[in-house]
Amino acid sequence: MTERLVIIGNGMAPGRMLEHLLEAAPGRYQVTIFNAEPRVNYNRIMLSPVLSGEKGYEEIIIHGDGWYIKHGITLYKGHRIVAIDRAAKTVTSDHGVTEPYDRLVIATGSVPFVIPVPGNDMAGVLSYRDLDDVNAMLLAAQSRAKAIVIGGGLLGLEAAAGLQARGMDVTVLHVMPTLMERQLDPAAGYLLQKAVEARGIKVMTKANTKAIVGKGRVEGVELACGTIVPATLVVMAVGIRPNAAIARDAGIETNRGIVVDQGMRTSDPDILALGECAEVGGQVYGLVAPLYEMARVAAAHLAGDEAAAFVHSDTPTKLKVTGIDLYSLGDFADGDDREEIVLRDAAAGVYKRLVLRDNRVIGTVLYGDTGDGAWFNDLKKKRTDISEMRETLIFGQAYQGGSPLDPMAAVAALADDAEICGCNGVCKGKITGTITEKGLTSLDDVRAHTKASASCGSCTGLVEQLMSLTLGDSYNPAAVQPMCTCTDLGHDDVRRLIKAKGLKTIPEMMQELQWKTSCGCAKCRPALNYYLVCDWPDEYADDYQSRFINERVHANIQKDGTYSVVPRMWGGVTNASELRAIADVVDKFEIPLVKVTGGQRIDMLGIRKEDLPAVWSDLGKAGFVSGHAYAKGLRTVKTCVGSDWCRFGTQDSTGLGIRIEKFMWGSWTPAKLKMAVSGCPRNCAEATCKDVGVICVDSGFEIHFAGAAGLDIKGTEVLGLVRDEDEALEVIVALTQMYREQGRYLERIYKWAKRVGVAEIRRQILDDAGKRQAYYERFVFSQKFAQVDPWSERVSGKDKHEFRPMASVGFAEAAE
C-alpha cells in the first residue's frame, strides 16, 4: 500500500534524500512537498556565482518542474507550513492547504542571525541565505553605490566579492582580528585579507558594529569606536540558526535544532528531520557534505533500512570566490600536544600548514596551492602514521617515495576510498567504478551518476584526471580541456569570466585571467576575439588580425595558394546584371574555374592573392557583398522557389529566405552557420540537414535546427511550429543569439544543442516568450555594429573606435 510522505522544505538536503529514496523504494510513497520559496529546488551553495554574475539561476537548478512531474511529486511553491497536528497527522500551510501524512520529514533549514543593534530592520538591510536575498542585492547593486558586509566568514566574503563584481564599493566589517578565524589560522587569514583587498574590497577587522544609521533607510554603520562607515546597503552575514520553530510548536523535542537520533528520527517516531534545522549528536551543521549524509540516512530509514546511521566526519572548508584558493580541515589550534609543519612561499602567495599529533595529521590549512587537499584529508581520515614521510610531507603527495610524481600519477596513487568530492562524500573508487560500469564518457555523465563535482565544483580537476586515468585515450574532455597551452581555463570559464569581470580587450583579458603567454596563439586569439565581439558589440573593436586568413581576405585559400571568392546572392537568387558582372570579373582576371556551390552561390576559383582587392572592388561596384563562404558566421540561406512558382509550394520560401539572410548577414557565430527554407514538406532546399531550417506547411512554418551534412551526418531536431513569417524570423534570430552566447568557438550548432539539451533550447526559445524576445533584441543590438556597408570603414560616435565587421575589411590592407 502506498504511504503518504510529506516534506516541509525543498532545499538541497531533502532533494538529495528524495533521489536516494526514489532509487531505493520506487513507488512506496506518494510524495508532497511544501516549499516556502516560490520556486523549485536549486543549489544554494552556488548563490555566490549567481550574485557575481558568473552563473544564472537556471544553471543552479537541481530539480526542475519536469523532475517533479516525472516522479509524480506534488510541489506546493510559496507555501509556508504554519502548523503540524501530530494527533491528526496533518500539516497546514499559510495558504490554507491541509495535507495528511503517514511519514513527515522536516527540512526547514536555517534562518540568518541578525545582530541585535539599532537600525537592523531598516530599509537597505539584507541577509544572505536564499535567491530572494540575491535578487534584492542585485537590485541594490544597480546603484553602484557603497555596500557594507557585516561578517568576514565564508558567506560574508562571497557576498562582498559578488557585490564588488557588480560594481559596488564594498567594505567588509569583521569583529575578529583575522578573516574566517573559525576555518583559518592567523597566517592564512592575513593572506586572505590581502587577496580580498587586492580585488578592491576594503576590510576592517576588530570592527564591532554599534548601530545601523539612517533616516528611514540605511545611510551607514556606526562602529563601537565611533567611526561611521557610509553605505546604502548593509548585508548581514554573521551566522545562521536552525529553523526549528515549527517543530518546537508541535511539541517535538528541540535544543539548538530539532533533536534527532543517528537515524534522523525525532522524538515522534513518524517524523524525521534533516539538514540545517536538525541537531544530531549535539551538533548542528551548515556545510553541505554532512547534510547529504543526513539525506542518505533518512532515505534509507524511509525505505526500511533501520540500521543506517549518521556518522560525523570533518568537512573541508573552501571559499567560492574566483581566483582565491584556500582549503581548511580539522583541528589547527595551538596546543602542547601537537606540532606543526609550515611552508611559506611569499613570491607565489602560497602558505601551507599541517598540524600533527603523534605523527598523524589532525589539521590542514592550505592557501594559494590546494591541490593536495584530498590527499591530506585521506591521511587524516585514516590516521596514517607519517613518520616515514615527515621530511617531505608538506610538499604533497607528488614528492613522496623519491622522485616527484606528475599530477596524474599522484591521483593514480590515491587509494580507492580516498575522498574526491567533499560536498557529496564521493570517493575515488566510486567514481572510477561507475565510469567503468556504466560506460560514462563525459563530466556531465559522471556528475549525474555519482554527484562528484556536482555541487561547488572545486573537485572538478580531480574528477577529470580520474576520467583520463580510467578511460585512457578514449576520453575526450573537449568540454573541459583548456582552450590551448596559453591557459588552464576552458572555453566556458573564459566566457563566464569575460562577462563577470567586465573584460573588454584581449590584453586586459589575458592579464586578468593570467594567460601564460604574452600575446596568445593562433588557437586562442580567434576565440577570444569572437567572445569579445559577441559580448561587447558596442564597445569592443574587432581585432581582424586575430581572424584566420580566409576571414581577413574574404576568400578561401586553395591547395595551390590561390583563392576562391563567393559573392553573396540573397536566398540564391540572382539576375542578368549580376551574372554579367561576374562574367566580366572572370574574364578580366582570367579566373580558371567558375562553379555553382551546394548553397546556391557562384564560386570563382584560382584567383591570385594580389588580385583579391581589385576583384572585390569590381564586384562591389556591381552591388555584391561578401558571401562569407569562409567565415564563422551566416554563410547561406538556401531556398526553393516556393508558392510563387511551384505547384506544391505552401508559402513564399524564397521571400522568407531572402528576408532571413538580409536580416542576419554580417553576424559572427561560434562556427559556420548554414540555413535553408523549403516551400513544402518535399524539402527541395534540404532544410532538414542544416544548422537551421524551415519547412513551410499549410498551417505555418516548422522550425528545424541542429542538423549536419559534413563529417557528421545528422537530421535536424524539430524546434516547433510557428504561425507567420514575423514569428519565424524572431524564433530563428533568438535561437541563433542563444547559440552565439553559449556556443564554444568552432562548436557547430548540433554539438552545442547536444551539450545544452534540445528540451532546454525549446523551453527558452519557444516556451518562454520573454526570454526569446530578450535574445532577439540582443541580436538586433549587435547588428547595429556589424551589418554595415561592406566597402567603407565605420567610425563609432564619440569614442572614434574603428570597427571592422567581417564584411568591411580594407582589402588592400588585408591582402598584405
Tens digits of residue pLDDT in 336-362 = 888 989 998 877 788 999 999 999 999
Q: Looking at the predicted structure, is the pLDDT value of residue 190 above 80?
A: yes
- Taking the alpha carbons at both ends of the chain, their separation in whole angstroms is 80
Q: Looking at the predicted structure, is the pLDDT value of residue 263 above 70?
A: yes
Res 812: pLDDT? 34
Provide CATH code, domain 3-110+242-302: 3.50.50.60
Average pLDDT over residues 156-180: 93
Q: CATH fold of 634-783, please?
A: Sulfite Reductase Hemoprotein; domain 1 (3.30.413)
Query: How far apart are alpha carbons 255 and 243 in whole angstroms?
Result: 11
Could you tell me if residue 514 is left (phi over 0), alpha (psi between -120 and 50 degrees) or otherwise beta?
A: left
674 phi/psi in degrees, rounded to 5: -120, 135
Average pLDDT over residues 701-721: 92
Helix orientation angle between 443-450 and 428-438, rounded to the nearest 10 degrees:
110
Percent of the chain with pLDDT over 70: 93
Res 407: pLDDT? 57
Beta carbons within 8 Å of 84's beta carbon, 6+ residues apart = 8, 90, 91, 104, 246, 247, 249, 250, 252, 271
pLDDT per residue over 235-258, tens digit each?
Answer: 999 989 999 999 999 999 999 999
Res 348: pLDDT? 76
Average pLDDT over residues 525-537: 93
Query: How far apart are alpha carbons 189 and 13 in whole angstroms?
Result: 30
Burial of 543 per CB tally in 10 Å (0-12, 13-18, 19+) = middle
- What is the per-residue DSSP string for 138-160? HHHHTT--EEEEE--SHHHHHHH
Domain map (residue ranges) of the chain = 3-110+242-302, 125-238, 550-621, 634-783
- What is the per-residue DSSP string for 646-664? -SS--S-HHHHHHHHHHHH
Query: How far apart are alpha carbons 175 and 593 in whole angstroms?
Result: 79
Query: How far apart are alpha carbons 230 and 214 in whole angstroms?
Result: 10
Lowest mean pLDDT segment, chosen from 179-193, 465-479, 757-771: 465-479
Name the helix (H) or strand (E) containing 702: strand 700-705
What is the residue whose three cell numbers read 560616435? 797
Query: How far apart are alpha carbons 231 and 169 in whole angstroms?
Result: 9
Q: Looking at the predicted structure, is the pLDDT value of residue 637 above 90?
A: yes
Q: State the binding site.
A: 640, 646, 680, 684
Lowest mean pLDDT segment, chosen from 426-435, 450-459, 668-677: 450-459
Res 809: pLDDT? 35
Average pLDDT over residues 266-274: 97
Average pLDDT over residues 71-96: 96
**CATH class for the domain made up of 125-238:** alpha beta
Q: How many CB atoms lie within 10 A of CB 580?
A: 11
Query: How far apart are alpha carbons 149 and 159 in whole angstroms?
Result: 7
199 phi/psi in degrees, rounded to 5: -85, 0
Query: How far apart are alpha carbons 777 and 789 in whole angstroms?
Result: 21
Lowest mean pLDDT segment, chosen from 100-104, 154-158, 329-333: 329-333
Confidence of residue 763 (pLDDT cuts 50, 70, 90): confident
Q: State the binding site for [4Fe-4S] cluster.
A: 640, 646, 680, 684
Q: What ranges in 352-459 are assigned the alpha helix state H? A: 373-382, 407-413, 428-438, 443-450
Lowest mean pLDDT segment, chosen from 271-275, 401-405, 689-693: 401-405
Q: Looking at the predicted structure, is the pLDDT value of residue 40 above 90?
A: yes
Q: How many CB atoms lie within 10 A of CB 342?
A: 13
Q: List the one residue out of 84, 23, 34 whose CA is nearest residue 266.
A: 84
* Residue 548: alpha-carbon gap to chain centroid: 29
Q: List the one residue out of 87, 89, 86 whose CA is nearest residue 32.
A: 89
Confidence of residue 502 (pLDDT cuts 50, 70, 90): confident
Task: Determine the 3-state secondary structure of 696 from DSSP.
Answer: strand
Fold match between domain 125-238 and domain 550-621: no
Confidence of residue 45 (pLDDT cuts 50, 70, 90): confident
- What is the per-residue DSSP string for 125-136? EEE-SSHHHHHH
Query: How far apart are alpha carbons 125 and 212 in whole angstroms?
Result: 9
What integer best gives the mean pLDDT of the chain?
A: 88
> For 359, how many CA atoms within 13 A lie in the half-sphere containing its CB?
8
Confidence of residue 706 (pLDDT cuts 50, 70, 90): very high
Q: What are the Cα distances from residue 247, in Å, to 6, 495, 580?
A: 14, 46, 86
Res 477: pLDDT? 57
Q: How many CB atoms lie within 10 A of CB 812?
A: 12
Q: Looking at the predicted structure, is the pLDDT value of residue 363 above 50?
A: yes
Q: How many CB atoms lie within 10 A of CB 178?
A: 20
Average pLDDT over residues 43-61: 86
Res 501: pLDDT? 82
Confidence of residue 322 (pLDDT cuts 50, 70, 90): low
Q: List the one residue out of 315, 355, 363 whose CA is nearest residue 336.
A: 355
pLDDT per residue over 792-801, tens digit each?
Answer: 333 233 332 2
Which grid cell sits at 495? 566566457
To the question of domain 550-621 being in CATH 3.90.480.10, the answer is yes
Q: State the binding site for siroheme.
A: 684
The model carries a pTM of 0.64
Q: How many CB atoms lie within 10 A of CB 60?
A: 17
Q: Looking at the predicted structure, is the pLDDT value of residue 334 above 80?
A: no
Highest mean pLDDT among 393-397, 505-509, 657-661 belongs to 657-661
Q: What are the Cα distances from residue 15, in Å, to 12, 44, 293, 695?
A: 5, 12, 12, 42
- Contact 672/631 with Cβ under 8 angstroms? yes
